[in-house]
Structure 1
Amino acid sequence: MNISFILGLLAGFGLVIFGIISSSSSLSQVTQSFVDFPSMYITFGGAIAATVMSVPVKYLKDVPQNMKVLMKREKIDLNLYIDTIEELAKEARLKGLLVLEEKVNSMDLQDEFLKYCVMLIVDAIEPTKVRAQIENEIDCIEARHASAWKVFDTLAAFGPAFGMLGTLIGLINMLANMDTSQGADALGKGMSTALVTTFYGSMLANMVCAPISNRLKAKHDEEMIAKEMIMEGVLSIQSGENPKYIREKLNSYITYKERGSEAAEADGEKSKKSAKRGKKKSEANA
C-alpha cells in the first residue's frame, strides 16, 4: 500500500480541521459554519456531474483500476531490467537472435512490453522500423495512461468553479432575503454561508484531485523511463553490441548510488564464489 499518499491525505485534512477548530470558539460554531449540505450538493454534485459530461464513460469506468495502481507501493526495479537485457544480449551473441523468443518467455521478469520488443527483433525487422514501431507503441501507452489523470484534472478544474457558483447563489439569496433590521449580523452570517461552497471547491481540487493526478503522472513517468530503457537495450541487442557496453549505456537511466549498490552486490557475489573455490581446493589438497 502507498503509505506516503495515505499519510499525506490524512495529515492534510487533519491540519485543516485542526486549524478550523482552533480558530473557532466552540464545536457547535464549527458545525454551523463549515457543515452546509446545500453547499455540498452544489459543489460536489455539480463538479461530478460536469466531469461525467466532459469525459468518456470508459475513463470513468477505469477510475477504480487507476486508484488500485495509485495505491500500489511497488517501484519499478530498473536494475532488474538491465540485468535481463544484458542476459538477453549474451544469449543473442552466442546463439543468435532466434533463441531470444524462448529465452524471454522463460525468464523470471515477465514484462509484456519487453516481450513485444524482443519479438520485433526476432522477426528480423529493420532497425529503423523496429524503433518506429516501439516509439509508436510508447506513444499509444502514453495516450492510454493520460485518461487515468484526465478525470481528476477535470474534476479539479470544476470543483472551484462550482464552489464560486455556490457562493454567487448564496450571495443572491442573502441580498434578496436580507433583513435590514438585523444590521451587520445578518450580513456576516449570510456571507459566511455563501463562502462555504468556495471552501468546499478548493478542498476538492487541492486536497484530493490534484494530488491524485500528480501521483498518477509520477507513476506514468517512472514507467515511461523503463520502457525507453527497454527500447534502447533491445535495439542495441539487434545491432550486436557488446553486452557490457549495453549495460553501461543503460546505466545512464539509473542514479550513481543505484549503480554503486549494484556493483557492491556483484563484488559480494564474486567474493562468495572465490571463497567457495578456495575451500574446494583446500579440501582437494587435503
Structure 2
Amino acid sequence: MDKLSIIAIMGGLTAILAGQALEGGHLGSLLQLTAFMIVIGGTASAVMLQSTPRQFVNGLKMLKWVFYPPQFNHEKMIRDIIQWSQSARKGGLLSLEGYVSLQHDPYTKKALQMLVDGAAPETLRSVMEVEITMFEHARKQAAKIWESAGGYAPTIGIIGAVLGLIHVMENLSDPTKLGSGIAVAFVATVYGVGSANLFFLPVAVKLKNLIATEIATKELILEGVIAIANGENPRIIESRLRGFLAMYA
C-alpha cells in the first residue's frame, strides 16, 4: 500500500477543514449535498461523454494504483534475462522454450516465444514495439479520464455557483431562503476547485508516472531479448540493462 497517497489526501482535507475552523467557520457549512451532486455528478457525466465505455471503466479500475501501485522487480527481471542469455549461449535459442510457459506477463511471454521461434532481431523489435505503443496508448487513454475530470470540475463548480445565485435572486422576498442559496453557490466552487487540485489532477499525474515506469519495464525486457537474439555476451547485456535502473535510483 502507498501510505504517502493516503497521507497526502488526508493532509489536504485536514488543511482545508482546519483552515475553516481557525477562521471561525462551521465545518458543517462545507457539507452541501446539493453542491456535491452538481459538481461530482456533472463532472462524471462530462467525462463519460468524452470516453468510450472501455476507457471509462479501465480508468476507474486504475484508481486503485494510487493506493496499491503495481510492483516491478527490475533486479529479478535482469537476472532472468541474464539466465536466458546464458542458456541460449550453451544450448541455443530452442533451449529457452521451457522458460516461455513460466512467464505470467503476456508481453514477456510473446517476446520470448518469438525469440525461441527464431524471429530476426529487426522483426522482433518491430512487432514488440507495436505492442508497446498500443499498450501505452490504451493505458494513457484510461488514465486521461482523471485529467479530464480535473479540467471539468472547476467549471462545473462555477455552474453550481451560478445556480445557487439564481436561487438567491428568485427568493429575494424570502430572507429565510437566501442563506441556503448563497451556501450552495460558494461551496460548489470549493468542491469544484478543491476536487480538481487535491484529487483529480494529482491522481492523473501519478497514474502517468506509473504508466511510464510500466512502459520502461517493457522496453527493458525488449532490449534484453533483442540482445540475446543478437548473441551478445551476458555480461554486456547485464551492463546495458542496468542503465535502465538509473531512473529508479
TM-score > 0.5, shorter chain as reference: yes
> 1:99 and 2:95 equivalent?
yes
Gap change, CA 1:43 and 1:103, over 3 Å in 2: closer
**Shift of the alpha carbon at 1:104?**
4.0
Unaligned runs of 5+ in 1: 259-286
Gap change, CA 1:39 and 1:103, over 3 Å in 2: closer
* Alignment correspondent of 1:8: 8
Farther-moved stretch of structure 1 (138-147 vs 237-246): 138-147
1:36 to 23, 32, 35: 32
C-alpha contact (below 8 Å) 1:118/1:234 kept by paired residues? yes
C-alpha contact (below 8 Å) 1:97/1:122 kept by paired residues? yes
CA RMSD of aligned residues (A): 2.6
Return the alpha-carbon distance in structure 1 between the equivalents of residues 126 and 117 of structure 2.
15
Q: How does 1:122-161 map to 2 (within 5 A)?
A: 122-161=116-155
What secondary structure does 1:240 align onto? coil
What secondary structure does 2:101 align onto? helix
**Shift of the alpha carbon at 1:35?**
2.6
C-alpha contact (below 8 Å) 1:92/1:237 kept by paired residues? yes
Return the alpha-carbon distance in structure 1 between the equivalents of residues 191 and 128 of structure 2.
44
> 1:210 and 2:201 equivalent?
yes
> Which protein has the larger Cα radius of gyration, Structure 1 or Structure 2?
1
Return the alpha-carbon distance in structure 2 between the equivalents of residues 89 and 9 of structure 1.
45
What secondary structure does 1:72 align onto? coil
* Alignment correspondent of 2:57: 61
1:256-276 Cα distance to aligned partner (Å, 9 max, x none)? 996xxxxxxxxxxxxxxxxxx
C-alpha contact (below 8 Å) 1:163/1:202 kept by paired residues? yes
Structure 1 length normalisation: TM-score? 0.78
**Letter aligned with residue 232 of structure 1:** E
Paired residue total: 248
C-alpha contact (below 8 Å) 1:167/1:194 kept by paired residues? yes
Return the alpha-carbon distance in structure 1 between the equivalents of residues 144 and 70 of structure 2.
23
**Shift of the alpha carbon at 1:46?**
1.3
1:192-249 Cα distance to aligned partner (Å, 9 max, x none)? 5422211110122112211222221111111111111111111010000000000011
2:106 to 112, 117, 120: 112
1:164-217 Cα distance to aligned partner (Å, 9 max, x none)? 1111222333345446x98xxx99986554222111101221122112222211
Gap change, CA 1:111 and 1:193, over 3 Å in 2: closer
Return the alpha-carbon distance in structure 2 between the equivalents of residues 161 and 105 of structure 1.
51
* Alignment correspondent of 1:238: 229
C-alpha contact (below 8 Å) 1:3/1:73 kept by paired residues? no
Return the alpha-carbon distance in structure 2 between the equivalents of residues 256 and 43 of structure 1.
38
C-alpha contact (below 8 Å) 1:62/1:148 kept by paired residues? yes
C-alpha contact (below 8 Å) 1:88/1:104 kept by paired residues? no
Gap change, CA 1:97 and 1:137, over 3 Å in 2: same
* Alignment correspondent of 2:158: 164
Return the alpha-carbon distance in structure 2 between the equivalents of residues 50 and 74 of structure 1.
29
